[in-house]
Amino acid sequence: MKVKTKTKIIRRLGTVLWPRYSKYFLRRPYPPGQKPKRKKTGFSEFGRQLQEKQKVRYLYYVSDNYLRNLVKSITKKTLKEDPSQILLKNLEMRLDNAVLKSGFANSIFQAAQFVSHRHIKVNGKKLNIRSYRVKVGDVISFSDKFKKSKIFQEIAKSIEKYNAPNWIEVDKKNFTAKILREPTLEDVKLPVELSAVFEFYSK
């Protein structure tokens, strides 16, 4: 996804989804096509739900169908756990997101590309399925071939300064990441109201 496209997305949603693009939002913190001094138009309830749903889609780089099916599968079950917690856990433990949260990629888009191109291994086995859900105890690493690339050298430098969330343990010397536990809503401070996503798909 191009920088220009990402900038339009965060301006339209009014939220900085990707920190590295915050400067573009601060420069023009209003929707594309809207005048700077124009008063922000309020959202209808449907508009609010749609906006929250779109935030989740772009944050995790998933399709509308994928998110809809995931939400539907959660709502069909009678569960003691908070549905928002279950949704978060399913999204956070996608392989592409786990790669990102381990510091092994600079963006969710790059993480998705690494997985698709078979640069990532889980428990020593190459996987190219972005939606694969990692489990507690799984170890994520890079393929030997990818470690010889220029891109890996850049990633390796950024890993040195990266602090992973406390549900992932990163070995910065061997470039591996172990899933210690399932993430919670307290671990992941999303700029999203997840309950609104359930409301959107309940219609």
Structural domains of the chain sorted by starting position, each given as residue range(s) with its CATH number in brackets? 3-88+192-201 (1.10.1050.10), 94-179 (3.10.290.10)
Please give the pLDDT value at position 79: 73
Per DSSP, the three-state class of 126 is: strand
Output DSSP code: residue 42. P
Please give the pLDDT value at position 106: 94
124: left (phi over 0), alpha (psi -120 to 50) or beta: left
Please give the pLDDT value at position 6: 62
Please give the pLDDT value at position 37: 55
Per DSSP, the three-state class of 24 is: helix
Please give the pLDDT value at position 81: 87
| Mean pLDDT in order along the chain per 10 residues (203 residues) | 58 60 46 56 84 95 98 87 95 98 96 98 98 99 98 97 97 98 94 95 90
Q: What is the pTM of this model?
A: 0.81
- The DSSP H or E segment spanning 197 is helix 194-201
Cα separation of the two ends of the chain: 30
Please give the pLDDT value at position 175: 98
DSSP string of 155-186, one letter each residue: HHHHHHH----TTEEEETTTTEEEE-S---TT
Q: Which residues pair with 133 in a beta bridge?
A: 94
Please give the pLDDT value at position 188: 93
Please give the pLDDT value at position 42: 63
Please give the pLDDT value at position 3: 47
> Quick one: 201 exposed, middle or buried, by C-beta within 10 A (0-12, 13-18, 19+)?
middle
- Residues in contact with 150: Cβ distance below 8 Å, sequence separation at least 6, in sequence order: none
> Given 3-state DSSP classes, what are the helix, strand and coil percentages for the chain, each rounded to the nearest 5?
50, 10, 40
